Amino acid sequence: MVDESFRTNRLKITVGQNLFRPPDVMLKDAVALTITFRLFLALLVVSILLLCIDPRCAKVNHETFLRLASTNSVWKEIVHLKGYKKMVAASILAAAAIPLVMEAILHMQNLPVLVMLFPLVWSVDRAILLISGSLPRSSQQKTLYQISVVFFASIIILYDDYRITVPGIALGLSGLVSTGVSKAVFSLACEENGVSQGLSFFNSAHHRLIIPTAVFGLLITGALSHWIESASGSFIPSLFEVDPTLLVFYTSSTAAIILSGGSLLPLSSTSSTKIFSSFEDEVVPVSDIFALNISFVLILWLSMFLGSATYVSFIQFLAYWAALFALFFFSRNKFSLDFRSSIHATGWRKEASISEDLGMTTTEASHHTTKRMLLRNFCLASAPILAWLLVSTVTTARRTTQSGISTHLDRNFVAESRFDIVVSIYDEDPTSVGQMLSSIKATKFLSTLQPRVVLYTKNQTSDLIELRVATGADIVERLDNVGRESGTYLHHITQHWDHLANQTMFIQAHAHNQRELIPRLDNFLVSNTGMLSLGFSGVSCDCEGCSDRWGWEDEWGLIPKLYKKLHDTNKCSEPVLLSYKGQFVASASRIRGVPLDIYEGLHDAITSSSGWSHDPNVVGDNMDEPDAPYFGYTVERVWNLLMQCSNSRVATMCPSLLGQWRRFGRVEDCQCLD
């Protein structure tokens, strides 16, 4: 029983007490709001502290601290700027960008691709300044070249991403574009106030941006958290369910980027020093490019070694490097480097003093210094390339190695039918079901066969003859409305054990992702297909403690029990690849390679009205009805394991339904062949 006080104080727990307490459930999509809320809260606290302890302007900071303690003092500070409206707009855009990027991290299955799109931030910034007329004529052509190259390279990176998803694209691009627009609007606000006011002005402008950004961020994430909880009726989980290593890495790196004025947001006084040159000749320091490369390599490395399915093609990497080259090359005059930064200027003065001792002229010293710095910068920027090649080669080879556990196949079974399509229907429109089946039969492999359609309806009032005519099914049977689609599939397997087709497609009457389903069948369904999932793939988990980011957990311990029984072992030695959407193709050899009693046990558990699969301690407040058992979510996820197709090769190499095919891909990327 859940205490009513918990229900009435849910928002308080989410954005208050839950900031520092352990979680109750696994990470979901909405946890990004909790992460960003904490980030904004920490950012606000750190910014206020920095105002108080900055030794360069102690009096101003002391007075600012006192003003911050009064009502609406932050907004009073903002309105002293001529471009305060632009500053507010920049703050709102920056506050919206972080949760968008966080959500993109959860939705993009190939995280390095998101990092490779970060040059878009610079290009969006430059594009807005170019359109607004803030850039001098001398740099407009170079800026246009830079923007064109980066945009074209980004299109190639996205086009070649075999794990691309619509939410990932929408959220990621929205977050990066918002960041670029925020940087541009911030620059325009500074320009409106006059660049000549000096560095102290930009430090002040910085604080007038970062504090409202944190405040707006708290309001946005808090409001969205409350709305999602109210709409879904579920409690947003805590951050600390994430792997501690990833938690420390993501939190520290994000905070470091923000506070250092790196590529994510223009929130630091260090970035203000670059405003002086923003309207003359945009300079992207080598340190920024090097930091971006290191971030790319680190995330690629972590994604591979911490279990995520990751693969970056050489075409994507070339496009990414072309974008960085455009930022580096078109942001400078012919051979000049960023001597205006303090680090480069110090190095130049040091080289100049040495050249004077050697009797070199100023021109000779300049060429000598330029060559040395070009060589140094090239080595620095190229180091991540070598690291990427090494890491990608080693880890991809490790993850694509075939599993050492043998597969049990019934090679002696002789099927009566070549290919069956088993459909689970309830109240779906029979005409649309017939159209879907016609499209499936017209795919490349099935068009050479005459598949038999076996339709199971759980609607007790349906006319079986009319249903058969409308759908074009060969066989129509009525079942009790229990067990969802998994109950239907298990019924077919257990009741037709000795009459299974050589290959069987199990699918719902309203198939998920129908637009992407047909290309998946065209690309991967072949005569020796053993197990081919027709839902999205790439999600794996630890065998002994399996869960996913949608909040599902193997609370019954079904996966380790199945694993040990299927492979005749006492321990789970490999990650388990999960299946989704309840649609797949399996061969009779693989189905019958698993003992019949396992299928019968699962069928009894999912169609029963009582027993261990309905344990109230596990089910809790979740819906658990005979026609929609809570246990059905677990059965939906174990079909890959049941069909002995749960290895890391499929998890790594299978493209998303939208991606369809991987460059240099093979037909076995998404399936296990017999």
CA dihedral 24, 30, 35, 38 (to 10 degrees): -90
φ, ψ dihedrals at 313, nearest 5°: -75, 160
In a domain, 11, yes or no: yes
Nearest-10 Cα torsion for 397, 400, 405, 407: -150
Over residues 577-597, the mean pLDDT reads: 91
Q: List pLDDT tens digits, range 7-23.
A: 333 333 233 333 332 33
State the Cα–Cα distance between residues 265 and 186, nearest whole angstrom.
10
Tokens of 233: 């009726």
Lowest mean pLDDT among 210-219, 417-426, 579-588: 210-219
In a domain, 539, yes or no: yes
Quick one: 145 and 16 in the same domain? no
Q: Which of 82-86, 236-240, 501-505 is the least confident region? A: 236-240
In a shared domain, residues 505 and 643: yes
Tally of CB atoms within 10 A around 52: 13
Residue 467 domain-assigned (yes or no): yes
156 and 84 share one domain:
no
Residue with tokens 């080289």: 351
Please indicate, yes or no, whether residues 144 and 27 belong to a single structural domain of this protein: no
CATH number at residue 602: 3.90.550
Dump pLDDT digits (tens) for 157-172. 888 888 778 888 888 8
What's the pLDDT tens digit per position in 543-578?
888 888 777 888 888 999 898 888 877 887 778 888
619 versus 520: the higher-pLDDT residue is 520
The predicted pLDDT at position 453 comes to 93
Q: Is 120 a domain residue?
A: no
Residue 409 in domain: no
More confident residue, 216 or 354: 216
For residues 481 and 487, the answer to whether their CB atoms sit within 8 Å is no
| Structure-block tokens of residue 209 | 């941006």
Q: Which residue has the higher pLDDT, 483 or 401?
A: 483
Q: Do residue 296 and residue 228 come from a single domain?
A: no
**Cα 138–Cα 292–Cα 336 angle in degrees, nearest 5:** 35
Listed range (208-217, 366-375, 568-577) with the worst mean pLDDT:
366-375
Tens digits of per-residue pLDDT, 600-610?
A: 999 998 998 88
Closest CA to 505 of 432, 628, 588, 411: 588
List, for residues 287-340, the tens digit of each pLDDT value: 555 555 555 555 555 555 555 556 777 788 888 888 877 877 766 544 344 433
Q: Are residues 534 and 628 in the same domain?
A: yes
Select from 249, 270, 291 the last residue of a domain. 270
8 Å CB contact between 657 and 536: yes
Q: How many CB atoms lie within 10 A of CB 441?
A: 16
pLDDT of residue 207: 58
Mean pLDDT of the chain: 72
Helices and strands of the chain, counted as H and E runs: 29, 9
Q: What is the count of structural domains for the chain?
A: 3
Range of the domain at 103: 1-108+165-270
Same domain flag for 207 and 310: no
Which helix or strand (DSSP H or E) is residue 658 part of? none
195 and 48 in a single domain? The answer is yes
> β-strand 584-587 against 503-508: which pairing, if any?
antiparallel
Q: 589 falls in which pLDDT band (50, 70, 90)?
A: very high
pLDDT digits (tens, 9 = 90+) for 188-201: 877 766 544 444 44
How many CB atoms are located within 10 Å of the residue 376 CB? Answer: 13
Furthest CA-CA distance within the chain: 101
Cα–Cα nearest to 224, from 33, 95, 25: 33
CA atoms 407, 411, 414, 419: torsion sign? positive
Q: Provide the pLDDT for residue 120.
A: 86
pLDDT in tens, 51-101: 665 444 444 444 444 444 444 444 444 445 555 677 788 888 888 888 888
Examine the domain organization and report whether 506 and 647 are in the same domain: yes
